[in-house]
Amino acid sequence: MYAFITGPLLWLAFTIFVIGCIVRIILYIKGLDWQADRVAYTAHLFYGIKGAVRSIVFWLSPFGTRGWRKNPGFTVLFFIFHIGLLFTPIFLQAHNIILKQRWGVSLWTISESSADVLTIVVMIAAVFLVLRRLSLPEVRILTTTYDFIILAIAVAPFITGFIAHYIASDYKFWLIIHIICGEIMLIAIPFTKLSHFVLFFMSRAQLGMDYGIKRGGMKGKGFAW
């Protein structure tokens, strides 16, 4: 069982994840209209690229935008959650051992204690995200069961991994559950709201390109918008 889920099933999960993300990016770009969505692919390209990069960098920086500064508590929670969600699985030593065994590649790894801290932080942040959705009227009205399912898919690998290492007596069983949860998350990313993993960069680039061209002084110079 272990050989299957860390071999063929892992290959399948990564394949669906990679191809699915590429397809989502292509569909996003193809779905844009240069006038309706105000994206310039060739005209004033320098200003567009500059605006796109600026937008992405500012939104990836804590308190880099007015929206982040207006909600400092949520901003800290958001960044802590996503940093742990991204860095832990990529740089966890155990994961890189599997990569080395199966595919002959590995990345720089973080210490086990650092991984434990990030795992606990992700789980605590997830609890606060749930409480936020339940307590704030402006967020609760937009929240559905689907949102909680997506959050559960994202956090399940961390919970099961923590149980496997520190709580459960049956380590092998929980290790298998942990790996399966991770593969479910990989497969779910292209098909759910988790696709913001890549579409965030597309939407921020689109908006940044729009503002970059306008604020770069190009408005009114041959553009329909």
Contact, 84 vs 129, CB < 8 A? Answer: no
Q: What pLDDT sits at residue 220? A: 57
pLDDT tier at 165, thresholds 50, 70, 90: confident
For 86, residues 6+ apart whose C-beta sits below 8 A from its C-beta are none
pLDDT tier at 222, thresholds 50, 70, 90: low
Bin 53: left if φ > 0, else alpha if -120 < ψ < 50, else beta: alpha
Q: What pLDDT sits at residue 159? A: 94
Q: What three-state secondary structure class fits 149?
A: helix
Give how far Cα 6 sits from Cα of 13, 102, 116, 180, Å: 10, 8, 22, 9
Structure tokens given for 224: 């329909």
Q: What pLDDT sits at residue 46? A: 79
Q: With a cut of 70, say whether residue 221 has pLDDT above it.
A: no
Q: What pLDDT sits at residue 192? A: 94
Q: What pLDDT sits at residue 158? A: 94
Q: What pLDDT sits at residue 206? A: 84
Q: What's the mean pLDDT when you consider all of the chain?
A: 85
Q: What three-state secondary structure class fits 92?
A: strand
Q: What pLDDT sits at residue 36? A: 60
Q: With a cut of 90, say whether residue 177 has pLDDT above it.
A: yes
Q: State pLDDT tens for residues 10-64.
A: 889 999 999 999 999 999 888 877 666 566 666 677 778 888 898 999 988 888 8
In the block, tokens 């742990």 appear at 84
Cα gap 114→95, rounded to integer Å = 14
In the block, tokens 């909680």 appear at 148
Structure tokens given for 38: 């105000």
- Averaging pLDDT over each range in 73-77, 134-138, 146-150, which range is the top one? 146-150
Going along the chain from its start, the domains and CATH numbers come out as 2-27+44-218 (1.20.950)
Segment 161-167 shows an average pLDDT of 86
Q: What pLDDT sits at residue 225? A: 53
Q: State pLDDT tens for residues 62-115.
A: 888 888 888 888 888 889 999 999 888 888 887 888 777 777 777 788 888 888
Give how far Cα 116 sits from Cα of 122, 158, 161, 223, Å: 10, 10, 10, 53
Q: What three-state secondary structure class fits 189?
A: helix
Q: With a cut of 90, say whether residue 207 has pLDDT above it.
A: no
Q: What pLDDT sits at residue 40? A: 62
Give how far Cα 195 sits from Cα of 17, 59, 89, 176, 186, Å: 10, 17, 17, 25, 10
- The pTM score is 0.84
